[in-house]
Amino acid sequence: MSEPSAEGRFGEFGGRFIPETLFTACQQLEASFREAWADPIFRTDLDDILREYAGRPSILTECRQLGAKLGLRLILKREDLNHTGSHKINNVLGQALLAKRMGKTRLVAETGAGQHGVASATAAALMGLECKVYMGAVDVERQALNVFRMRLLGAEVEAVESGSRTLKDAVNEAMRDWVATVENTHYCLGSVMGPHPYPWMVREFHRVIGNEAREQCRALLGGDPDVVVACVGGGSNAIGIFSGFVDGSARLIGVEPAGGAAVGRGQPGVVHGMRSYLLQDEHGQVEEAHSVSAGLDYPGVGPEHSYLASIGRAEYPSVTDAEVIDAFQLMARTEGIIPALECAHALAWIVRESPALNGCTVLMNLSGRGDKDVGQMMGILSQ
Amino acid sequence: MTHLDLEGSLRAARGAGRKLLVPYLTGGLGDWTRAVEAAAAAGADAVEIGIPFSDPAMDGPVIQESSQRALDAGATPVSILDEASRLDVGVPLVVMCYFNTIHHAGLERFAASLVRSGVSGAIVPDLPLEESGPWAAAADAAGVATVMLASPITPDERLPRICDRARGFVYSVGVLGVTGERASLAATATVLAQRLKGVTDRPVLIGVGVSNAEQAVEASRVADGVVMGASVVRRFMEGGPALVGEFVADVRAALDSVTS
């Protein structure tokens, strides 16, 4: 995967559609990231933290029972085993290290399911930064445990009551905070979205997933898998694993929730600083996404995914909540792994497509563990 | 109404020794067009009409609330421009909209719809200089003035380029932060306006965080005038067009006491 253009475009997607105050901040961030990313000391520092603190590299696990049941070879990239329980830690440790290098003393972050918020609060605690997390009021209710975790880690969590009270509104509120505090604050954006340089920078921080997986697949399989599958909300875990395989011939599948299928149902639009596929009504008002999984409840998608879809390199099918709930239970029962509801989207697609995938080798990014979803699933399954 | 020349009107008023006052009202909310009329009658030099967007990331609580209420009442860009087209207030109208509203409608089509509605200019807060090219070309071709914004942290080298691209006036953002009333005028407000005045002859108006007559006067000692949003919208939601008219008249009277 190459760098975006100087204007931050992947094809016709991306860019920097933000107020003048944040434009200047994003230019400074881009320059700082570019310089840090080229600095072997920064890279070594980050690699050390990823290894000694986050627990990288994450392993591959072959799902023998589930694979046999589905008639394919199913391999999981175990991002759920990272510290804080998801891939989000890769990006957050990178951004927190960069924020310190830039002399910032405070992080703001948005969160949907709470995984990025927990990861941000964790990195802030580790590096001695202040941290404020904005979370939609609806999600605060759905993910009470993660709210408590963030507070335990010393972060301030603010429930966002504006708009649809979910992830997109948390992003708006984080941007409102940042525009007022930009001099001492870094906006630790949680996905491959937003204005340039975020989609590129966050991808680079998650590239480690794809780099490891490619090497691990070569050792295990002697080459690339046939299919690489990940769930897509903003799309950070998917971009991370795709980055290891985009130059090869594996099919790349980003699975969206049916109620938030930005690539599948959206049209190009501009929100949160980027031009990308976006769910919107006939007047250009952004629509609310609906998904059983708070982490995918986002009406847009990272611009590089829009680009990969536009050139036909990756496919973006969607699955329903009902399929996801079945897949969540299937993985728990057959493999003894409780996946995050987000990743259950990827599995739901594999299950649905298994007749067509017969005999294929499928690599799925298990981007997070499902502990945070257990309370919600208790409610759903008792109905 | 007739399509007035925004920059020409503002330059003429400034030339006559007048400090410029541009109140903001959220389009589509209740009897907002009566409030536009009241503001114009009370001495506004232009009126800014907000087109509500689902994700107003630059706006604070007051304008968020007014936008949400307008959307809940069914307001759309089309319905607002349709109502605006029936106004005849004798001063230029300028819309404030987020870029997706324009992008979704299509650049040329949106510019044409502004002209048809008698709107003279557009303020697009999430469209910085580097992204403004295609819209600015469409707006120029249609005769719509695209107001550009400068921020307190904009580096010196960008200011002349922003001012060159601006039409109508240059919007000097008064504070690092979103729209909303503040207890006092931020020190950054007049510093930026002074820097802008040093590089452009276009009218320079301070907006965001200019909350009352006293702050408007303070801002206008350096700038050519002010844009006032949340303070006007709050009064509209509390007391309708009459309260807007009273407030604008008070600010007008205070500004008329400023000698430049």
Residues A234 and A249 in one domain: yes
What letter does residue B3 receive in the DSSP assignment? Answer: -
> CATH code at A35?
3.40.50.1100
> Chain-wide mean pLDDT for chain A?
96
Residues A226 and A245 in one domain: yes
- Give the HSE-up count for residue B115: Cα atoms under 13 Å, Cβ half-sphere: 14
Residues in chain A within 8 Å Cβ distance of B128: 16-20, 23
- Asked if pLDDT for residue B3 goes beyond 80, the answer is no
CA–CA distance, A345 with A255 (Å, rounded to integer): 6
Q: Name the domain boundary from A198, A226, A255.
A: A198
For residues B112-124, give the mean pLDDT. 98
- ipTM for the whole complex: 0.95
- Asked if pLDDT for residue A103 goes beyond 90, the answer is yes
Residues in chain A within 8 Å Cβ distance of B151: 19-21, 23-24
A19 and B58 in contact by Cβ < 8 A?
Answer: yes
pLDDT digits (tens, 9 = 90+) for A214-255: 999 999 999 999 999 999 999 999 999 999 999 999 999 999
Residues in chain A within 8 Å Cβ distance of B178: 176, 179-180
For residues B178-187, give the mean pLDDT. 93
CA–CA distance, A259 with A80 (Å, rounded to integer): 24
Residue A317: asked if its preceding bond is cis (omega within 30°), the reply is no
Q: Does residue B99 belong to the interface with chain A, where contact is any CB pair within 8 Å?
A: yes
* Candidate from A23, A176, A269 with C-beta closest to B128: A23
More confident position, A144 or A128: A128
Q: Does residue B104 belong to the interface with chain A, where contact is any CB pair within 8 Å?
A: yes
Residues A41 and A68 in one domain: no
CA–CA distance, A318 with A320 (Å, rounded to integer): 7
> Chain-wide mean pLDDT for chain B?
96
Q: Does residue A162 belong to the interface with chain B, where contact is any CB pair within 8 Å?
A: yes
For residues A85-110, give the mean pLDDT. 97
CA–CA distance, A331 with A112 (Å, rounded to integer): 23
Catalytic member of B7, B48, B181, B218? B48
Nearest to A301 by CA among A336, A264, A327, A337: A264
Residues A95 and A82 in one domain: no
Residues A178 and A253 in one domain: no
Nearest to B97 by CA among B76, B82, B74, B118: B76
pLDDT score, position B260: 53
Residues in chain A within 8 Å Cβ distance of B103: 268-270, 275, 284
What letter does residue A188 receive in the DSSP assignment? Answer: -
A160 in a domain, yes or no?
yes
Report the chain B residue with the minimal C-alpha distance to residue A278: B100
For residues B65-76, give the mean pLDDT. 97
A295: pLDDT confidence band, cut at 50, 70 and 90?
confident
17-36 in chain A: CB under 8 A from chain B: 17-21, 23-25
CA–CA distance, A15 with A2 (Å, rounded to integer): 15
CA–CA distance, A185 with A108 (Å, rounded to integer): 7
pLDDT score, position A2: 86
CA–CA distance, A242 with A237 (Å, rounded to integer): 8
For residues B107-125, give the mean pLDDT. 98
Q: Which burial class, exposed, middle or buried, applies to A334 when counting CB atoms under 10 A from its CB (0-12, 13-18, 19+)? A: middle
Work out how many domains chain A is built from and give that number: 2
For residues A120-124, give the mean pLDDT. 98
203-262 in chain A: CB under 8 A from chain B: none
The proportion of chain A whose per-residue pLDDT surpasses 90, expressed as a percent, equals: 92
A374: pLDDT confidence band, cut at 50, 70 and 90?
very high
B83: pLDDT confidence band, cut at 50, 70 and 90?
very high
Q: Does residue B105 belong to the interface with chain A, where contact is any CB pair within 8 Å?
A: yes
Residues A27 and A130 in one domain: yes
The proportion of chain B whose per-residue pLDDT surpasses 90, expressed as a percent, equals: 97
Q: Which burial class, exposed, middle or buried, applies to A38 when counting CB atoms under 10 A from its CB (0-12, 13-18, 19+)? A: exposed
pLDDT digits (tens, 9 = 90+) for A296-338: 989 999 999 999 999 999 999 999 999 999 999 999 999 999 9
User: Which range of residues forms the domain containing residue A31?
Assistant: 9-49+88-198
Residues A258 and A368 in one domain: yes
CATH architecture of B6-255: Alpha-Beta Barrel (3.20)
Task: Write the DSSP string, A15-65.
Answer: EEE--HHHHHHHHHHHHHHHHHHT-HHHHHHHHHHHHHTS-PSPPEEE-HH
B48 in catalytic set: yes
Angle of helix A198-221 relative to helix A88-101, nearest 10 degrees, comes to 130
Residues A107 and A175 in one domain: yes
pLDDT score, position A86: 95
pLDDT score, position B139: 98
pLDDT digits (tens, 9 = 90+) for B145-175: 999 999 999 999 999 999 999 999 999 999 9
A199: pLDDT confidence band, cut at 50, 70 and 90?
very high
Q: Which residues pair with A130 in a beta bridge?
A: A106
A38 in a domain, yes or no?
yes
Cα dist. A57→A83, A208, A241, B91, B234 in Å? 11, 9, 13, 65, 55
pLDDT score, position B259: 65
Q: What is the pTM of this model?
A: 0.96
B153 and A25 in contact by Cβ < 8 A?
Answer: yes
For residues B245-253, give the mean pLDDT. 98
Residues A98 and A222 in one domain: no
- Picking from A12, A23, A189 by the largest number of B CB atoms within 10 A of its own CB, the best residue to mutate is A23
pLDDT digits (tens, 9 = 90+) for A29-60: 999 999 999 999 999 999 999 999 999 999 99
**CB of A318 within 8 A of CB of A301?**
no
Nearest to A195 by CA among A25, A364, A358: A25
pLDDT digits (tens, 9 = 90+) for B20-50: 999 999 999 999 999 999 999 999 999 999 9
pLDDT score, position B224: 98
pLDDT digits (tens, 9 = 90+) for A148-187: 999 999 999 999 998 889 899 999 999 999 999 999 999 9
Angle of helix A20-37 relative to helix A88-101, nearest 10 degrees, comes to 100
pLDDT score, position A30: 98
- Give the HSE-up count for residue B8: Cα atoms under 13 Å, Cβ half-sphere: 7
| Opening angle at CA A16, ends A138 and B211, nearest 5 | 70
